[in-house]
Structure 1
Amino acid sequence: MNLPLASIALCGLLFMAWSGPLRAENADRDKPIHLESDRVLVDDALQTSVFEGKVELTQGTLRIQAEKIVLTQDKLGNKHCTATGKLASFRQKHEGTDEFMEGYGERIEYDTRAETVDFFGQARVKREQDDVQGDHIAYSTHTEVFRVSGDAGDGNDPGKGRVHAVIQPKSREQTALPAQKDTPLTIQTSPTLSKPKP
């Protein structure tokens, strides 16, 4: 395995470990999608809508902001959203916590059927103070797996094409085991045990 691939794989594993408790808010799937923009073009025949100008898409706790969002729907009602802009943004609350995952990219693809979010170009995902950056970040809300890759780079910039991750240590209070009580054990005879034979 060559060194750049090993680095990408290691960062991917670290990020997957970091993302263990992440799970998109389950109730979001059943909520309607709301969109606001400066203008919209709707093509009912193709089941496509193009929203432009300060677009904001919300579905429960999920929020995507971009300059342009193209929303398509298949015959089964599954939706696919492509958000573009200088940097489009994504934010969603995680199930059972008050934590939010935030992501950015020149393009964001959100697919309700596949339950995936992909960030392309200057891709970045943050949770609290943890942060990962690359050229492409793929996140499955179903399997809770992140896949991060850098771009090919041009060979002139040694840092280009690599994945960058910052994973903050957990505080000792979060990882400490419950304190043991300092009470001594007492030994008692059991009434159910038979007496030893002489």
Structure 2
Amino acid sequence: MDRIASWLLAAGLALAPVAAAAQDGEGRLTGLKLSGDQPIQIESDRFEVDETRGVGIFTGNVSVVQGPTLLKSARMTVHYDRDAGSATTGSAAIQRLEVEGGVYVRSESQVATGERGTFDMQTEVLTLSGKEVVLTEGENVVVGCRLTVQMATGQAKLESCKGEGSGGRVRMLLTPGSENRQ
């Protein structure tokens, strides 16, 4: 399950590259590092497995920790490759993760929040979405409704909240010198 690290660390984004490219809504993310060598601890109120569908569902106060990265949500669905091991024991290859219900991701000094998120292991694409996706690093804040990250290339795109009362724009607050106060 160390591929969960890819999703977790992608969501704990370094905001400087996103901020630098906010005018066109796209940017290149740098500094993404995977912690595949560190153990992953998953806790929830309940865990169900459906081997016939290749699905594992964690519900209720889901908490996933790997190194300095923390993911919290109400529900996490893990889609496994049914032909490559057992979902019950965690030995199956993960195809896709889906989280929903107050998604919160913290990695070192960055925090990302949204209503739901997905990470496709084959394409290495992370998507975090909701009425308000908020990325913060210290005093700097970027707000939109859909964040898509191409992990292989480091390309990221934050889309506005068209029709959500925001005027259809990505919003950003940058505080000069804030990187020196962290």
TM-score interval (norm. to shorter): 0.5 to 0.7
Deviations 1:33-68, CA, capped at 9 Å, x for gaps = 432111111112322111111001223333210011
Give the one of 92, 98, 105 matched to 2:107.
Answer: 92
Question: What's the offset of the Cα at 1:133?
Answer: 0.7
Could you tell me which residue of structure 2 aligns to residue 106 of structure 1?
A: 115
What is the root-mean-square deviation of aligned Cα atoms in Å?
A: 2.9
Alignment partner of 1:125 is 2:135: yes
- After superposition, the Cα gap between the structure-2 partners of 1:32 and 1:116, relative to the gap in structure 1 and judged at 3 Å, is farther
Q: Distance in 1 between matches of 2:179 and 2:162?
A: 39
Aligned match of 1:147: 157
**Secondary structure, aligned partner of 2:36:** helix
Answer 1 or 2: higher relative contact order, Cα 8 Å, separation at least 6: 2
Within-5 A mapping of 1:161-180 = 161-170=168-177
Give the aligned residue type for 1:84: E
Asked if structure 2 preserves the Cα contact closer than 8 Å seen for 1:11 and 1:165, the reply is no
- SS of aligned partner of 1:10: coil
- TM-score, normalised relative to structure 1: 0.63
Q: Call closer, same or farther: CA 1:133–1:89 in 2, change over 3 Å.
A: same
- Residue 149 of structure 1 deviates from its aligned partner by 0.7
Residues of 1 paired with 2:125 and 2:110: CA distance? 14
| Aligned-partner SS, 2:25 | helix
TM-score (norm 2): 0.68
Distance 1:148 1:111, change over 3 A: same
Distance 1:128 1:31 in 2: 26
Q: When the two structures are aligned, how many residues end up with a matched partner?
A: 150
For 1:109 and 1:33, the matched residues in 2 are separated by 18
Q: How many percent identity over aligned positions?
A: 23
- Alpha carbons 1:24, 1:92 under 8 Å: kept: no
| 1:117 CA displacement | 2.6
Aligned residue among 34, 38, 42 for 2:49:
42
- 3-state SS of 2:53 partner: coil
Cα distance in 2 for partners of 1:172, 1:102 equals 15
Deviation, structure 1 residue 9: 6.7
Deviation, 1:135, is 1.0
CA distance in 2 between partners of 1:81 and 1:138 (Å):
14
Q: Secondary structure at the match of 1:23?
A: coil
- 1:23 corresponds to: 31
Structure 2 CA distance for partners of 1:32 and 1:9, relative to 1, 3 Å:
same
Q: Tell me if structure 1 keeps the 8 A contact 2:78–2:94.
A: no
Separation of aligned partners in 2, 1:31 and 1:149: 32
CA–CA distance in structure 1, aligned partners of residues 76 and 140 of structure 2: 28
Q: CA deviation at 1:89?
A: 0.7
Q: Partner of 2:62 in structure 1?
A: 55
Q: What's the offset of the Cα at 1:171?
A: 7.2
Q: Secondary structure at 1:82's aligned position in 2?
A: strand
The match for 2:146 is 136
Which one has a larger percent strand, Structure 1 or Structure 2? Answer: 2
Deviation at 1:126, TM superposition (A): 1.5
Structure 2, unaligned runs of 5 or more: 1-20, 85-92
